Amino acid sequence: MDDAGVSRPDPIITERLRLEPLDAARAALQADDPERFFEELSARASPDWPPPLHDEKAAAYTRDALAERPEEAGWQSWIFVETGAHGGPDIAIGAGGFHGPPNADGEVEIGYAIVRSSEGRGLASDAAAGLVEHAFKDDRVQKIIAHTQAGNEFDAVASRRVVAKLGFDGPEPTSDPDIVRFTLSRTRAA
């Protein structure tokens, strides 16, 4: 439990990854003392850390959000740690999570990113599958939403492959012509 009396969720373990949840204390370390943050995770940062969209601004946002709402631990950021790849040390290779707890309609939005050096190995799919399973353990969650770029850039195509592999429906257009939406309902995931 942290200083606010909130328990940090357990890590999510997949075949190749350990997804570490950020609580207020870890989020503060990530933003303010990255060296201690990776020590706390018992992992090294990938040489090309951080992954796309997980820059200093994102770390500060997560720190502030969890300081303000510590009960959202598990509904904010997770760090993806590749465990013992090729007999080596555990390495932080990605980040993702949710854009907050389930809304009144039981929806959560998922996001994920992997460092360039670890792309193309199915690690984003492993991480996203772990996050999906985690979300649906909460009875409040009825639907998971993912937004990706609409274009044919590598990142957009790779993100759409991940959601397709996990059974998300879509793409559906959004009010932004550059963004498409995918959804996975609890009934479809079952």
CA 130 to CA 124: how far, in whole Å? 10
Q: CA distances (Å), 125 to each of 75, 159, 165, 173, in order?
A: 19, 9, 7, 23
Q: Minimal CA–CA distance to 113: which of 151, 58, 73, 152?
A: 58
Alpha-helical (H) ranges within 46-118 are 56-68
What is the model's pTM? 0.93
Confidence (pLDDT) at 153 = 80
Distances (CA, A) of 99 to 32, 86, 96, 135, 163: 21, 33, 9, 12, 17
Amino acid at 109: E
Q: Quick one: pLDDT at residue 190? A: 63
Domains present along the chain, CATH in parentheses: 12-189 (3.40.630.30)
Using the predicted structure, report yes or no on whether residue 126 has a pLDDT greater than 80: yes
- How wide is the angle at C-alpha 185 spanned by C-alphas 74 and 71, nearest 5°? 20
Q: What is the mean pLDDT of residues 83-95?
A: 87
